Amino acid sequence: MKRYSAFAIAREAFRFHSGWERAWKSPTPKAEYDVVIVGAGGHGLATAYYLAKNHGITNVAVLEKGWLGGGNTGRNTTIIRSNYLQDESAAIFELSRTLYEGLSQDLNYNIMFSPRGVLMLAQTEHELRAWKRTAHANRLAGIESEMVTPERIKKIVPMIELNGPRYPVLGGLWQARGGTARHDAVAWGYARGASDRGVDIIQQCEVTGIDRDGGKVTGVQTSKGAIKCKQLCVVVAGSSGVLADMAGFRLPVESMALQALVSEPVKPMLDCVVMANTVHGYISQSDKGELVIGGGADGFNNYTQRGSFQHIEETVRALIETFPAISRLKQLRQWGGIVDMTGDRSPIIGKTPVEGMFINCGWGTGGFKAIPGSGWATAEMLADGNPRDLAAPFSMDRFTEGRMIDESVAAAVAH
């Protein structure tokens, strides 16, 4: 793989850009692999990349029924933060945030990481207490976050209205090293890095069945034929329950749409991410000037990837109370992604009832920020055959053992 650099750009300019090679290969699937990963989103590609880079396991196939990064990885609002409440969550999200900081250099691919800061507003007394608790937990975990006053918030976000008609701003939780990254670039960078290390990325290859010999997985049936494998890892977000049903077990997750939209481009007016969880709305500004807006997940189970008028009305109405300046902007486009929610709003990373089959799911509305840490932890699990320190707390057993990792507040539900 040729490295990208300023020199390479200058060289190709003289060649009329005819010398660029494909970022990743599109091979024909082999008959058998050591590891098959189902799902070529950020989590699946990161898993393949770290399997190859950290553990030297390269006889790996990543299967994707559509196009690479065409699911939730390309349908989110790109927020990156690690200020979670529970120690288990804080560890994996902080690893992820740290990896994001150096990911462009590691992948030799510009993911456009922007550590612009994430501000989580407290608009009720209950929420103010919750963020104070989270700030104390973050300090004990070694995560940089702090409580800020309304006066400090006004300096961080001059356009904000602190005295909204329903929910005035009482304070906020500020993580200065949080931010955003370009979602497509994250997927493309991991795909390029994994492919260069020998991983096969196979698009337009839908898994239609899972082969078992007794209680052990032996391979998968796909739209491109049967593929044998020693280990199978399912990383398909909102479709996790469908794949689990093929293997003969049920998952404690439910799938629903999470919608977002962007406004028409405007001049720079917001240089951080603001989350207003009481009213279920969050907002940032992209490098192109669009305001990226999202809110809560749909209140009913579904598999749609379309937007709805109800979501526009609820989310925009909530944000206009806090940001009156956006009231006359026009919507440019809207979309939805299928998220998988667990009861405690924490992911599942671990073994399944089928021997040799592993699963990574349940990231709910916050999967993008976890991509590097999730891939790192899942690769460790596949290399060892058992979940290690990062992944171990997130096994499915916690639901029967009653050891929930409750992140319904810190995950902000809306995000």
Residue 144: is it exposed, middle or buried by C-beta count within 10 angstroms (0-12/13-18/19+)? Answer: middle
Residues in CB range of 140: below 8 A, 6 or more apart: none
Read off the pLDDT band of 47 (50, 70, 90): very high
- Give bridge partners of residue 283 from the DSSP assignment: 274, 293
Q: DSSP letters of 71-117?
A: SGGGSS--EE----SSHHHHHHHHHHHHHHHTHHHHHTS----B---
What is the C-alpha separation between 311 and 309, in angstroms, rounded? Answer: 5
Half-sphere exposure at residue 191, Cβ-oriented, CA atoms within 13 angstroms: 26
Per-residue pLDDT tens digits for 126-144: 999 999 999 999 999 999 9
Mean pLDDT of 155-170: 93
If DSSP codes are grouped into helix, strand and coil, which group holds residue 211? strand
Name the CATH code of domain 118-179+255-342 (choices 3.30.420.40, 3.40.50.20, 3.50.50.60, 3.30.9.10).
3.30.9.10
Q: Residues 253-266: pLDDT tens digits? A: 999 999 999 999 99
Domain assignments of the chain as residue spans, ordered by start: 25-82+84-108+183-253+344-401, 118-179+255-342
Q: Which residues contact 340 (CB under 8 A, 6 or more apart)?
A: 237, 238, 240, 241, 253, 254, 255, 361, 362, 363, 364
Cβ distance 118 to 275 under 8 Å? yes
pLDDT score at 412: 54
Fold agreement between 25-82+84-108+183-253+344-401 and 118-179+255-342 = no
206 in Cβ contact with 222 (< 8 Å): yes
Whether the CB-CB separation of 59 and 228 falls below 8 Å is answered with no
Q: In CATH terms, is domain 25-82+84-108+183-253+344-401 a member of 3.50.50.60? A: yes
